[in-house]
Amino acid sequence: MSLRGKAVLVTGAGRGIGRAIAVAFAEQGCDVALAARSADELAETAQAVRAHKQRAVECVCDVAEPGEVARMVYEALTALGGIDILVNNAGYACFKPFVDLTLEEWRRTLDVNLTGAFLCTQAVLPSMMARRSGRIINISSVSGLKPIVEQSAYCASKHGLNGLTATLAMELRPYGIAVHAICPGGVDTQFSRDAMPDRDKTNWLLPEDVAHAALYLSMLSPRATTDTLLVRRFDSTPIGG
């Protein structure tokens, strides 16, 4: 199924997985709206999208701020004339023992990873529902599928995101809107380098591996869907294994 001509909104598109997803959709002939807080990084991603002769719309936005999300989605919808695919990718992590976690760190994790997806999805949904079509891809994590020591807030946010994803898949089915979660294992990005500086990242996934999974979901036939796509390192152990 061709994605040519589709309009895609990617949050957290300034670097890492979000940038790879934005560029992968541009390679397939999509226009892309890009959201993140750092204008400089968004400009670099936009340049990479335009190198594929596709439109890029840069929207500086903190996904945890309702007013900023409303403005960002309005700008994206106005510039692209609609959004066919929303990728909720922006994420935050603070890995430490639960006993040392501050309320501020707990709240920020849930605000960005869970409430951010809530806000962006609610802002985009009316236009998708009116067109009776659309696709929402939430970038979750293996931390949304299993407990990981010293990741309590992050695990809680990603388990919550998986619950939201599955519930929306049922609620939005009558509108022809598909909702999926991608749950990657470790991906070598600034995020994992900051959160897990001591881990050897040899053989970890690259952002392009997650982007490939997002394209796969976007090319599913309308008869088929996939709720949760777990993408792990080839040499890692399957969950439950």
Ligand X SMILES: NC(=O)c1ccc[n+]([C@@H]2O[C@H](COP(=O)([O-])OP(=O)(O)OC[C@H]3O[C@@H](n4cnc5c(N)ncnc54)[C@H](OP(=O)(O)O)[C@@H]3O)[C@@H](O)[C@H]2O)c1
- Contact set with ligand X (CB under 6 A): 11-18, 35-38, 41, 61-64, 89-92, 112, 139, 141, 184, 186-187, 189-192, 207
- Amino acid letter for position 167: T
Q: How far is the CB of 4 from ligand X (least distance, A)?
A: 26
- CB 153, min distance to ligand X, A: 12
Q: Which residues contact 204 (CB under 8 A, 6 or more apart)?
A: 185, 186, 187, 188, 192, 233
Q: Which is nearer to ligand X, 41 or 84 (CB)?
A: 41
134-139 and 85-88 as β-strands: parallel, antiparallel, unpaired?
parallel
Q: Give 132's Cβ-side CA count (13 Å radius).
A: 1
Compute the least distance from the CB of residue 93 to ligand X, in Å.
6
Contact in structure between 72 and 121 (CB atoms under 8 Å) = no
Q: Closest distance between ligand X and the C-beta of residue 199, in Å?
A: 9
Give the residue with the Cβ less far from ligand X, 129 or 148. 148
| Catalytic-labelled residue, pool 92, 154, 175, 216 | 154
| Choice between 7 and 95, CB closer to ligand X | 95
Residue whose structure tokens are 């994206």: 76
Please report how many Cα atoms fall inside a 13 Å half-sphere around the Cα of residue 199, on the Cβ side. 15
Q: How far is Cα 241 from Cα 236, in angstroms, rounded to an integer?
A: 10
Active site includes 175? no
Nearest residue (CB) to ligand X, 139 versus 217: 139
Q: d(Cα 68, Cα 59) in Å, to the nearest integer? A: 9
Q: Looking at the annotation, which residues are catalytic?
A: 154
